Amino acid sequence: MGERREAARAALKSVFGYDDFRPGQAEIVAAVLAGEDVLAVMPTGSGKSMCYQLPAIVDGALTIVVSPLIALMRDQVQQMWGFGVRAATLNSATSEDEADEAWRLLRRSELRLLFVSPERLLAQGLAARLREIGARRLAIDEAHCVSQWGHDFRPEYREIARARSVLGNIQTLAFTATADAATRDDIVERLFERRPRVVVHSFDRPNIALRFEPKDQPRRQIADFLARHKRASGIVYCASRKRTESIAENLKGRGFRALPYHAGMDQASRGRHQDAFLQEDGVVVVATVAFGMGINKPDVRFVCHADMPANVESYYQEIGRAGRDGLPADTLTLYGFDDMALRRRQIAEKDISDERRAVEQRKLEAMIGLCEAATCRRQALLAYFGEESSGNCGHCDLCRGGVPLTDATVDAQKALSAVARTGQRFGAAYICDVLTGRETEWLRRNGHSAIKTFGVGRDKPQRIWRSVLRQLFAAGALEEAGEGEHPGLRLTEKGEAILFGRERIALRAEPERRARRERVLVDGAAVGLTPADEPLFQHLRAVRGAIARAEGVAAFMIFPDRTLIEMAKLRPLDLAALRLVHGVGERKIAAYGPAFVNAVRQFLGR
């Protein structure tokens, strides 16, 4: 067994160019090589795929990888061939020639990784044929999709256990980035023949900065955030297709290379925008949440949520698409009263069981709680996944300048009184007008400029009262009243208890607006490059981009940013020096080494 571990470490260097495993990888690879079944819960960017790729290389045997997205399969196949590892995919988009080549390699026992969808694995007797060929392992990516308690349940994943049986109950590995205890138990029950080794790696991604802001001119907030990331690649997530189009257009008008992406676009346009994001630097994709699941780009430097995510698991998975290379990455999540109300309506209107509805409601309340947190965001996020953390992280907005909870019972009573005295049928904007004494025509017609609470909150701006109402809604003191697109607000039992003094409430004080003096993450400066190294880094990026376009592959498949950063620092002038750079294996040396060594020499005038 020791020999196989050494072989794995040697392949890690020679094939992938890595000197050592990432945290958690060595334990899992050792368990896999020992023949154990494994369920591994590891954050995005921690190198889950290495845990099944490396054993396949060491054993020289076939691993079947179940993946939910065609784009991700093709991406991984290209990447493996770039490392000199034979891989293929069989799916609905596979051409006849590609399928013939895959079967040729399978029959000759030369294929190491075969990527398939769960539907394809059971179709046309594929599993039985793969058993005859001698498949060694079954690896399931995005394994949370098998569980009804997961945030992305897919019924077709339930059939994987049957496919495993047809394959001869071969060694089974399951990987996911997001699974709480209930989801993990469900995965074990539904996927495995015998109890697997369960490895739960830390959910912490310390390289990712966390920031939340209440919506207040969202387009300006997004543009300000993006301005701190010049020439960096990133994703802006939106809750609707229409929002992706309008925000992308707004960002273009502000000088950003912003491209929309959603399922309503024609396939050719989606493909062009995805290719631009993968092959070029400084592209911002404005997308619905489907974008990113099939993207294996390691150098996404920021993720922005233009609307509040549906739950903590989705939020965690989506921000996890930033900083997969381990270098600093930034996030911003905007949220508002309307987001909370919309998400609650969506759950109420779903055709699901009461048990499932209760689970989704709890998950939403946890997301709202993360938005309205008063102490360290990272502690709250990790606690959701059952992980303890000590001390403030120092790398989220609240640790950098937190907003403490204060007794806000009097302000809450003013707001609740305004809701009650106007008949419990008007929305937040109307209630804010009442509180601040803004006498609109609509308000006059309703006679509400004469009620006792009119103008009782003139001492605070409307944004403060919006925050009070939003937090009361989040705390369950207010709920929606009526139907339609813009239902009003009404008091709950908790709201009545606060209004009539039977209960007190603490709320976050909204901070005063202030000029931002945060560190600007511009180009390579944020990832450890000095001003002297930055020009060479950009030069190497340009060389990489030209090669990627010529080969029709994603830029990171040539070399990721992390490798180029190290090249810019070490300035290798020959292939021997290039071998010392992180992420440069033998196949990459042969394919691209001379081009990058020459690029360094030319830049330095050598």
Q: Which of 18, 49, 17, 16 lies closest to 32, judged by CA?
A: 49
Q: Look up the pTM and report it.
A: 0.80
Mean pLDDT per 10-residue section of the chain, whose length is 606 residues: 82 90 90 94 84 94 88 84 92 84 92 92 88 93 79 79 90 87 87 91 90 93 93 92 95 94 87 85 89 75 95 90 90 92 87 85 88 84 82 82 80 94 90 92 90 92 88 85 72 93 86 49 59 91 91 89 93 93 92 95 88
Contact at 8 Å (CB) between 509 and 374? Answer: no
Which pLDDT does position 517 carry in this prediction? Answer: 44
> What is the domain partition of the chain in residue ranges?
2-200, 208-401, 405-508, 528-604
**What is the rounded radius of gyration, in angstroms, for the C-alpha atoms of the chain?**
27
Which pLDDT does position 523 carry in this prediction? Answer: 47
Which pLDDT does position 385 carry in this prediction? Answer: 83
One fold for both 208-401 and 405-508? no
What is the architecture, at CATH level 2, of domain 405-508?
Orthogonal Bundle (1.10)
Q: 2-200 has which fold? A: Rossmann fold (3.40.50)
Which pLDDT does position 415 carry in this prediction? Answer: 94
What is the architecture, at CATH level 2, of domain 208-401?
3-Layer(aba) Sandwich (3.40)
Angstrom distances, CA of residue 499 to CA of 21, 418, 452: 57, 10, 15
Which pLDDT does position 292 carry in this prediction? Answer: 63
SS3 content of the chain, % helix, strand, coil (to 5): 50, 15, 40
Which pLDDT does position 515 carry in this prediction? Answer: 42
* CATH of the domain spanning 528-604: 1.10.150.80
**Four-residue CA torsion sign, 376, 378, 381, 387:** negative
